[in-house]
Amino acid sequence: MSEPKCFGKYVLLSQMEAKIITRTPLRVGKGREMSVVESDLPIMKNSENVPIIPGSSLKGFFRANSERIIANITNRGNAEQLIRKIFGSSEKKESGSAIFFYDLKAKESNYKLENRKHIKIDPETGGVDNLFEVECVMDGALFEGLLATTRNLSPAFIGIVQPVIELASLGISRLGGFKSRGYGAVDITINKLTLIIPGKSREKLREGIEIHPTIGTMKPTYIKTKNGNGVSLREIDEINFKATVEEAPSYLGTKITVEDSKETNKLLSSLAIQFQKYLTAEKQ
């Protein structure tokens, strides 16, 4: 992969922490189980035997739904190209993923497991072809933790997660398997969004800086902090929001953190509007 072209140096990193609450049973399976003690189709669990939503499932969920959303504004070819830029591609000459997803673990005492029986209908006879049992996490379960990180992905492109979250709230985008049986409806909330600018001090941000993310609109991003906890960000239009700004010695730079879920929702919605403007301009 030609990673040095896009990721030769880091100019902007981000982290998104989230909580996912199931509204219907959720089933992310690990395949058929031969044990007589477990259900026919158990769910994914970690080494502590706690249910998880794997990062691979989350990436597939966000990737597929992002492509459908983008395809409404631009043509299918452009949509596929943009998706490869954000989520990576297996093609040798293309860059690696600009976004990484992580396993989300169910919060202890906030989930209930059940084994539910289902039948498979024989399409020729209309009779019962098979009776099987599946394990699932019931509605009301809470999964939370680090959802995703990005590298050199422009702020406007980070906004693509918001429309997918909105589709999930409508019950249109669903997680896991057995969707046609009513499984997988979830509510997703980003409760913490952190932007990390390596190599730039807090003092520099007060003066205002220009950075050039290598994946995105290809427009420079201007960031300036104001008195108190105000931050101004401009890539296409100017966006103002409240955040905590502090030195980040681990990254030899500064980090900007938005922790209130209402503020993160407002910021991501503003970034999604910027992303839409970018797509509309590209189409013209």
Q: 199 to each of 10, 249, 254, how far by Cα in Å?
A: 9, 10, 8
Read off the pLDDT of residues 227-251 as tens digits, 9 standing for 90 and up. 888 999 999 999 999 999 999 999 9
Q: 258 to each of 192, 216, 246, 268, 280, how far by Cα in Å?
A: 6, 22, 12, 11, 28
Mean pLDDT of the region 259-271? 93
pLDDT tier for residue 6 given thresholds of 50, 70 and 90:
confident
Q: How many domains does the chain have?
A: 1
State the distance between the two ends of the chain, measured CA to CA, in whole angstroms.
31
pLDDT on residue 35: 47
Q: Rounded to two decimals, what is the model's pTM?
A: 0.89
Query: Which 3 state secondary structure label does DSSP give 106?
Result: strand
Q: 40 to each of 26, 37, 57, how far by Cα in Å?
A: 16, 9, 21
Domain holding 54, by residue range, is 3-283
At a CB cut-off of 8 Å and minimum separation 6, what does 103 contact? Answer: 46, 52, 53, 54, 55, 145
Q: 95 to each of 49, 117, 213, how far by Cα in Å?
A: 35, 44, 14
